[in-house]
Structure formats: structure tokens, C-alpha cells
Structure 1
Amino acid sequence: MAKESATVSELRKAAEVSDREIDAAVDAVLADLVTEAYPLAKGWTLDLVEMLRTNSRAAEALTTDKPARKRNMVRTAILLAHPVKG
């Protein structure tokens, strides 16, 4: 079991979060679903608003017309984010 302060990347390595669940979170951000309580996986919740607020590169990438850049930057931001167990 992963610790409470783990990043999404660490949770992925510990098999707490799957690539499919991470992709769904990326899709949610790209579809403009901005929520403070996105259900990531197995009781883990990710604050997408805070994730974008604290990762200026991902927020900036959302304003471009380059879909691959948007997806890559948002995915990176999600992998670096710290979800909460709840």
C-alpha cells in the first residue's frame, strides 16, 4: 500500500492507479472537467483545480493549439500530483 503523500506516479508503480485511470484523468482535464475532487482510483481523489494551479506549464499548455503538447503536459502534471486517500 502506498503512503498518503505519494505522487500519482508512485501510486502507479505500486499498482494503486492504472494507466487507464491516469488517461481518464487526462481526458477529464482536456474536456474542461475542472473539479476539486476527481475520483482517481481505489479511494484516491485528485484535485484537478489545484493540480493545474500548481503546475503552470500544464495550465499554459492548455492554451495552445497543439493537442499532443496539451496531453503530455497534463499527463506529466497528473503524475507529479499528490492525490488524497479518502
Structure 2
Amino acid sequence: MAANPTVSDLFKSKDVTDEEVDAAVDAVLADLATYAYPLAKGWTLDLVETIRTNERAAEALKTDKSAWKRNMVRTAILLAHPVKA
């Protein structure tokens, strides 16, 4: 695994489950105020920074298109680099 893995890398290696990614997406959609989201097995993800640095996800959150919003947030999370807690 890479020294600085993405959530996608952790998902592929089974260190993060689909349910854990879905829960992170739900957390963003419910209230984007989480800086240190406990992703899985000691990994944390700054959800605010994840969305702030992904222009498409930030743009999607301003719309009323729920499927697009969810997909863009999920993509941003999968591309993000969590930190080992």
C-alpha cells in the first residue's frame, strides 16, 4: 500500500468498507462540520477539507440534485487522503 493512501486504496485493500464510506457520505450530507471523522481502523478523515478541496463536490452540495450530490461527495471521499490516528 502507498505511504499516503487514498480512501480508495484503503477500500481496495479492505481496510475500509463500503458501509464506512457510505457513513462518511451521510455525515457530509447531514452536517458538514466534521474535521476529524473516524473513518475506520484508526484512520480519520477531515471531511471539511475533503469537500473544500474538491470543486465538483463543493459545487454539488449547492444543488438540489440529491443523486449527483451524493455521487460527487462519495467521489471526493474516495480520492481523499485520510491520516492514521
Instruction: Output the aligned Cα RMSD.
Output: 1.0
Structure 2 residue runs without a partner (length 5+): none
1:46 matches 2:45: yes
Instruction: Give the conservation status (yes or no) of the 8 Å contact 1:4–1:84.
Output: no
Structure 1 residue runs without a partner (length 5+): none
In the TM superposition, what is the alpha-carbon distance from 1:56 to its structure 2 partner?
A: 1.1
Three-state SS of the structure 1 residue aligned to 2:51 is helix
CA distance in 2, matches of 1:13, 1:41: 14
> Aligned letter for 2:24?
A
1:64 matches 2:51: no
What is the TM-score of this pair, normalised by structure 2? 0.95
* Structure-2 residue corresponding to 1:12: 11
In the TM superposition, what is the alpha-carbon distance from 1:33 to its structure 2 partner?
A: 3.8
Partner deviation per Cα, 1:17-61 (whole Å, 9 max, x = no partner): 000000000000000142110000000000001101110110110
Instruction: Give the conservation status (yes or no) of the 8 Å contact 2:46–2:82.
Output: yes
CA distance in 2, matches of 1:4, 1:45: 15
Question: Moved runs in structure 1, 4+ residues, more than 2 A?
Answer: none
Aligned residues: 85
Instruction: Give the conservation status (yes or no) of the 8 Å contact 2:7–2:80.
Output: yes
Instruction: Give the conservation status (yes or no) of the 8 Å contact 1:51–1:81.
Output: yes
Instruction: Give the conservation status (yes or no) of the 8 Å contact 2:32–2:48.
Output: no
Identity %: 74
What is the TM-score of this pair, normalised by structure 1? 0.94
